[in-house]
Structure 1
Amino acid sequence: MTFLKWTMSSMHIAILLLGLCISFSLVAGGRLRPPADFACEPNHMTSWTGLLVFYWREASQLGFTIDTDDGTQESLITAYSLDNFLINGEHFTYGDWSKVESEVGLLKPMTRARVWLCDNDGNATLIDWQVGIFL
């Protein structure tokens, strides 16, 4: 009988811990954490994740429209340097353009991105190209 009580008690604890883990992951999943080097106060920050449906790029400026995973459509035109980009969370290099574009200024089909914007500094934009992974 003592063994049965101990086993039931252990099962209750395991179920309780599982429930806590699930609820913590749902709360944590509500808001994405920005990359550590993205300098913006959390109250001034927004992010979009989704499929790019329109895109163009020139030497120092690019623009796009993104169909977000939240069901909205957002557009942005911004000046950029390679420092404004990541690729799958890693540093973006000039050679990475071939993973994003089929030719200069022409985006590969089904390209996804996560975009971080700061509303108190129009220059604080970070684009994390999501290539070959599912978000």
Structure 2
Amino acid sequence: MTPDRWIVLVGGLVLVAFIVWFFWLKRARGVRAAETSGGHQEVMVLVKGGYTPDTIIVRHGKPVRLNFRREETASCSEKVIFADFNKSADLPTGETVPVEFVPDTPGEYEFACAMGMFRGKLVVE
């Protein structure tokens, strides 16, 4: 093989390895909810092309308040659904909407938009 073919081969393998790592192996660390003086665990979640942060860490047995602020007009992001907690909220553009609940059982719970295109995870410790 000529040197230019080796360069293309190695470059392609590096690119494939990066894609595998980025889409399947990378683990989000998550953001730990801040405890307020009122006893809530609170996080601000920006809705713009997805949820930021998309992994939130909270403690079980304490009230959680997730403040969603939608900064886009895509119809998919109009609603957030917490199926495991029987909670959902409409998210008007430009407004902050709190979603409050008490997670009693440790585990990982997903939240998503109505179409399931935007996804996030709530880690309850």
| Structure 1 and Structure 2 fold alike (TM over 0.5) | no
**Which structure is higher in helix share?**
1
